[in-house]
Chains A and B, each alone.
Chain A
Amino acid sequence: MSPADLATTSDTLAWLAVVSYVVAATLFGLEFAYRTRWFGVAGLTVTVAGLAANVGAAVTRGLAVGRVPWGNMYEFSIIVGIITVAGFLIWLSRRPDIRPLGVFVLLPAVLAMALGGLVFRVPAGPLVPALNSRWIVIHVAAAITGSSVLCLASVFSILYLVKERVERRQRPPAPPLVAGAARTADRVEVDQAVARHASVWSRLPSADTLDHLAYRTTAFGFPIWTFAIIAGAIWAQAAWGRYWGWDPKETWSFISWTVFAAYLHARATAGWRGRRAAWLSILGLATLLFNFYAVNTVIVGLHSYGGQ
């Protein structure tokens, strides 16, 4: 196949992957809401097919451009899909009970890919000479993996906040101080309303489990993110003659690093464990998203490769 054919194949496969993930997310969502195993198994099948298309999209793109397929935001988004979904599947093989959470893992991946495809799509092409280094393989791969994993950790923190709220509301209410028919009736009505409202969310794993999950995921992503920053510094030293220059990209990756470091400390600090720590993780997510979407496109810096 010629590079042009390969590029076209890559685009088709990328959209196929997006569609598969949307279908799979819907199926996982149905499993989550209705607890029907069949939906989950079907969702898993479609996810695997989508991942195959996703990997195919990256490989054909790489062949079409003759370099690693992560040189711009569009390609980055495709790899985010692979990392997130493959990571989820590997983890699922060790803990099959987390399958209904698939909807919360796939949706962010789909959003990232669709946004990449719709807004940042660029035709297959070569890179500027500054990116022509083997460090692009290491630094960008680590940055994609680290940020994907940390984003997932934040998704778990969001779910933790939801479930923690549900659990707090469902806690058996203190017995009324004065026994009275009217009060009891009120309370029953309120409890029923809460139970109806919370019916779907109460199916999430326990708040403790989600909190632990968020922590484990952060503990996995944080060293990768640290390594991505260090690898970036080594590359910057080779390319620009300084390992750190407070370029907006560097600044924001440092901000994310600081916020997730704060999260890890918060998990070990009385008064910060739980909800406050979860909010720090969400703050971290916001900084990661800002770094990828806003810094690449709006803020002028040495990393403004979004349009290339």
Chain B
Amino acid sequence: MAVELRPPAARPDGPSRRPGLGDTLRQAWREYRSMRTALVLLVVLAAASILGSLFPQEGLSPQRVDQYFADHPALAPVLERLGLFDVFGSAWYMAIYLALLGALVACLVPRSRALYRVLRSRPPRGGDLRRYRARASFTTPAAPEEAMAAARRVLGRHRYRLADHDGQLAAEKGFLREAASMLFHVSLLVLLVGLAYGKGYGYRGQAAIVEGETWANARVGYDSFSPGRFFGAGDLAPFQLRLDDFTNSFHPNNTPKEFASHLTALDLDGRQLQAQRVAPNRPMTVDGVRIFQSDYGYVPVVRVSDAKGRELLAPQEVLTLRDPASEWSTGAVKVTNATPQVGLELTMFTGLRTAPDCPGGAPFCNDPRLVRPVLVVLAYQGDLQADRAQSVFTLDRSRLRPLGDRPLLLVPGQSARLANGMTVSFTDLKQYSVLTLARDPGVPVVAVAAALLLAGLIPSLYVTRRRVWARAGPDGAGGTRVELAGLALQGKPAFEAELARLAEQVRRGTLEVPG
């Protein structure tokens, strides 16, 4: 029932008592654990979640948050203060769901007590059966005791709990509904605990490994790393990963078909622990850490020497950024020990094609398969400003000017001379694999809770509570008149027919009795 959060008005007649603090608190408590509060909080939670999908979220796409700051310089700081870029981690979002969970617990405690009491008590007597709306009756030649025995058998078969009240049989069933509903709600609590535990003691990070290289599972090896609040740096599992090979393939329409890393896990002494092919949807587990295939890219190996043949840049693996739509990659080489400094802008084609072979009359295009790798090099000279923080994938061209007027095109193994006499060699081409590594110790808890939640949900919606009473007495013509009446708490429209079926089964039961 809806409860008003208002102290009762003082009655003019009789001793008036001002409502004390206790009354107000009791009233507030009752209001808090009412279904109406849960309902309102559910709707508020839904509304709050909408905000999290409308604004870019720090945890999901930090680049888009930065973009938002650039687009709305005045508004963004205000939104940030309100927590709108991290809705699901914000204090007010937490306040809403904690309030909901609190209401849930406050509601579960009295409910479990009530369920316990009802389960321990016998089905209550029905009183005068004529006052129930759902009724059924019949006459049978069997004796009253036999009719009652038949009723007991039939109701027992339908899993009713039975009790005799001097001649009246009381039957009750459907407590599974309440028990299942409680299981559902408790599972929800457990699920949240598992979630919080996993978040607090787990971590998630990304690392890039070049083919043939061995990577050690240490904080410095990660390109991005987000530990849980209680995750210590020493908690990283001690192992190494070696990327033996990376393979990828494409459908005839040039969309990616598959990409996979052939990984070997090693212990710190280099002994092999396990080897596995890791692909999307095919993770590997090493020492409780799950390893997922995220992304990949190309690594041209570039060597630069000066006009006299002295090496300015030893063969360097240049990590490039792959454009998923065209499959070409871009990167940069910074030759800081040349005077003036030289910067190279690289574009890596996997299969460079030119005019007649390209769709739509484009002057050039790229086949995503590694069929004709070509490295296009654009050179600049001047000041690289290498002492300033900058991206490894691009050059800061503010103090650079073009070196030469045309780009160099190199295939693996080829070298070419820049306008200033320097030589650029494209010595080798490798691939790198981006892996996501994650540890979440809460997963088993969450999985069990989700299974129990589902197991509780279905009976809590479908089991119906019923009470049925039966009575038998002489009909005055040598036979027995059996009366049934019942009460349904759920599924009322179907109940009268159900009761009629029960009565029919009892009637047939009385006839089956031998003698």
Q: Which of B123-131, B158-166, B449-457 is the contact stretch?
A: B449-457
* In the complex, B395 has a CB within 8 A of chain A: no
Q: Are B292 and A261 neighbours in the complex by a CB distance under 8 Å?
A: no
Write the nearest CB–CB distance from A290 to chain B, whole angstroms.
9
* In the complex, B200 has a CB within 8 A of chain A: no
Q: Are B454 and A212 neighbours in the complex by a CB distance under 8 Å?
A: no
Contact of A132 among B2, B281, B493 (CB under 8 A): B281
Q: Are B257 and A126 neighbours in the complex by a CB distance under 8 Å?
A: yes
Residues of B within 8 A of A259 (CB): 42-43, 46
Contact of A251 among B49, B61, B279 (CB under 8 A): B49
Q: Are B438 and A227 neighbours in the complex by a CB distance under 8 Å?
A: no
Per-residue contact bits, chain B 344-361, to A (CB 8 Å; 1 contact, 0 not): 000000000000000000
Contact of A269 among B39, B53, B251, B290 (CB under 8 A): B39
- Which residues in chain B, 25-52, are within 8 Å of chain A measured between CB atoms? 35-36, 38-39, 42-43, 45-46, 49-50, 52
* In the complex, B80 has a CB within 8 A of chain A: no
Q: Known: A129-B256, A226-B454. Contact between A245 and B60, CB under 8 A? A: yes
Q: Are A227 and B280 neighbours in the complex by a CB distance under 8 Å?
A: no
Q: Known: A130-B281, A223-B458, A258-B42. Contact between A233 and B256, CB under 8 A? A: no
Q: Which of A28-36, A190-198, A234-242 is the contact stretch?
A: A234-242
Write the nearest CB–CB distance from A304 to chain B, whole angstroms.
12
* In the complex, A118 has a CB within 8 A of chain B: no
* In the complex, B231 has a CB within 8 A of chain A: no
- Which residues in chain B, 422-472, are within 8 Å of chain A measured between CB atoms? 436-438, 440, 443, 446-447, 450, 453-454, 457-458, 461-462
Q: Are A227 and B454 neighbours in the complex by a CB distance under 8 Å?
A: yes
Residues of B within 8 A of A271 (CB): 2, 36
Q: Are A222 and B457 neighbours in the complex by a CB distance under 8 Å?
A: yes
Contact of B292 among A222, A241, A264, A287 (CB under 8 A): A241
Chain B residues bordering chain A, tally (CB within 8 A): 50
Q: Are B39 and A128 neighbours in the complex by a CB distance under 8 Å?
A: no
Closest to A299 in B: B53
Q: Are A269 and B35 neighbours in the complex by a CB distance under 8 Å?
A: yes
Write the nearest CB–CB distance from A160 to chain B, whole angstroms.
15
Write the nearest CB–CB distance from B174 to chain A, whole angstroms.
15
Write the nearest CB–CB distance from A68 to chain B, whole angstroms.
14
Q: Are B257 and A262 neighbours in the complex by a CB distance under 8 Å?
A: no
Closest to A233 in B: B450
Closest to A294 in B: B53
Residues of A within 8 A of B49 (CB): 251, 254-255, 258
Q: A226-B454, A241-B204 are in contact. List 20 more A-B contacts (CB 8 A).
A: A126-B255, A129-B256, A132-B258, A227-B454, A230-B450, A239-B280, A240-B436, A241-B290, A243-B446, A246-B59, A246-B60, A246-B88, A251-B53, A255-B50, A255-B53, A258-B42, A266-B39, A268-B35, A269-B36, A272-B39
- Which residues of B are at the interface with A, using a C-beta cutoff of 8 A? 1-2, 35-36, 38-39, 42-43, 45-46, 49-50, 52-53, 57, 59-61, 64, 88, 195, 204, 251, 253, 255-259, 279-281, 283, 290, 292, 436-438, 440, 443, 446-447, 450, 453-454, 457-458, 461-462, 493
9 contacts between A and B (CB under 8 A): A246-B57, A248-B53, A255-B49, A262-B46, A264-B461, A269-B36, A269-B39, A271-B36, A272-B36
